[in-house]
Amino acid sequence: MKRFNIRRWLLAVIAIPAFFMSAQPATDTVPEPKNQFSVDLQFLGRGEARYGGMPAAPVEDEEEEENAEVPTSNFVLSRARLPIYFKRDWLETLVTPQHSGVWGQAGKGSFNLHEAWVKMTTRFGMFAQVGRVALNYDDERIIGSDDWAMASSSHDILRLGYEGHGHKAHIILAYNQNANVMATGGSIYENGGQPYKTMHTAWYHYDIPRFPLGVSLLFMNIGMQSELENNPDRTWFQHLAGGYMSFRPEHWKAEAAYYKQFGKNEHGVKIDAWMASAKVSYMPTSRFTVTAGYDYLSGDKYFAVPTGHNIGMVHHDVIKGFSTVYGSHHQFYGAMDFFYVSAYHHGFTPGLQNAYIGGTYTPLKNLMLNASYHYFAIATDLQDMEKTLGHEIEFQAGYAISRDVSVSAGASFMWGGETMERLKRSTTNNSLRWGYITLVVTPRIFSTKW
């Protein structure tokens, strides 16, 4: 008689249910959420102190000019945004209320919608987007949200495009009107929230497979309301065409851009202007980057100089001064924003040459240090003026306290020459100083999927 083997029976008891369980078809998996919803808070506060560089009031004689006080300015700026985002399958929306202003400002600053758009995407990579959108293209030199400015910039547009297989093609259409009223002689757009009446843009970008090269082409057709008294209903069109290239081999990054402007401005004057830029960055280690570059923007050379170093107006048959239109100007032409943010007297544009070199060092994971030098000069030959505008040295530091909180600070020093003094109407050009400190807080308040 065989002995009872308890070990075999235990193995059978365990194996048989396991076999049937493995033979059963898999239960239904939990479906992935189709809906996403999130609410964020974006707070930015920045204190600034500026010494000199602002236009001085006219004086009677040289002695009074020498004893004039240096203009100074100290202020605190702030901005708060509340992005509300929703996505379901092919439908995507974003609404971002925004408040911005100067502490103590009359009227308590400005409140508006920075973004409010709806986007529909097909599975083939095509999409349509309509509403108020913050646009950023390439290096943001021509089209950017200019996030340094408290109000920033956005556009009321219809955007159609395709993205896939290394190709990106966008078409942007905008038409701005003062109000939904009937206007005699056609549509009029004056003193609106956007700097143009119509804007048609085509952008194409291609990333070459298995090669670190990206190339973009850009064309813009910008319609401006006529400012001629004898023909106020007309729309004048100015055009911009050019391209941007980025080459990113190991430890290196090279960028280049060229843009041409033509057509006519809002006064009906012919435009013939251009700009070119080149920038090279070398990263020997993950902690250190060296950058050098050069920008050239064409300019006008005809102007009148009355007494008192004031720049007068003259008639231009052709405008040679390049306009940087809707770019993020602060990051390109010096942190003190003397060029293409604040204008020369009477809007005169002698162009700009900007040669710069700098370096960024990251000694700690959350700490960034940066220093750079800029040499500024006008691009045209002006009578009885040197081309050199001045020299600027910049220092910046940034520290990430946590994932949601960061601080940064910077200081800039500029030494301007006589040309800078005459074009900017500032006699305090030999020792200009500017500094800032910024706090950025960006927590996610709520997020869910279902």
Q: pLDDT by residue for the chain (450 residues), tens digit each?
A: 445 454 554 444 445 444 434 444 455 566 778 999 999 999 999 999 988 765 555 555 555 555 556 678 899 999 999 999 999 999 999 999 999 999 998 877 889 999 999 999 999 999 999 999 999 999 999 999 999 999 899 999 999 999 999 999 999 999 998 876 666 666 788 877 888 999 999 999 999 988 999 999 999 999 999 888 787 788 999 999 999 999 999 999 999 999 999 999 888 889 999 999 999 999 999 999 999 999 999 998 865 333 344 444 555 678 899 999 999 989 999 998 888 876 665 567 899 999 999 999 999 999 999 999 999 999 998 878 899 999 999 999 999 999 999 999 999 999 888 888 877 766 555 678 999 999 999 999 999 999
Q: Give the pLDDT score at 419.
A: 86
Cα–Cα separations (whole angstroms), residue 416 to 44, 411, 431: 31, 16, 8
Cα maximum dimension of the chain: 131
Q: Give the pLDDT score at 304.
A: 38
417-422, Cβ contacts within 8 angstroms, sequence gap of 24 or more: 417/386, 417/388, 417/389, 417/390, 418/385, 418/386, 419/378, 419/382, 419/385, 419/386, 419/387, 419/388, 419/389, 420/338, 420/376, 420/389, 420/390, 421/309, 422/305, 422/309, 422/311, 422/385
Tokens of 323: 């306009």
Q: Give the pLDDT score at 124.
A: 92
Domains belonging to the chain, first-starting first, are 54-178+194-449 (2.40.160.100)
Whole-angstrom distance, CA of residue 116 vs CA of residue 415: 43
Of the candidates 312, 224, 206, 294, the residue with the CA atom closest to the CA atom of residue 261: 224
Whole-angstrom distance, CA of residue 11 vs CA of residue 244: 71
Tokens of 60: 């009677």
Q: At 361, phi and psi to the nearest 5? A: -125, 135
Q: At 31, phi and psi to the nearest 5? A: -65, 145
Q: Are 69 and 43 in contact (CB under 8 A)?
A: no
Q: Are 224 and 261 in contact (CB under 8 A)?
A: no
Q: Are 218 and 227 in contact (CB under 8 A)?
A: no
Whole-angstrom distance, CA of residue 319 vs CA of residue 239: 13
Cα–Cα separations (whole angstroms), residue 336 to 107, 333, 392: 27, 8, 9
Exposed e or buried b per residue across 130-167, where buried means at least 16 C-beta atoms within 10 angstroms of its C-beta? bbbbbbebbbbbbbbbbbbbbbbbbbbbebebbeeeee
Q: Are 285 and 366 in contact (CB under 8 A)?
A: no
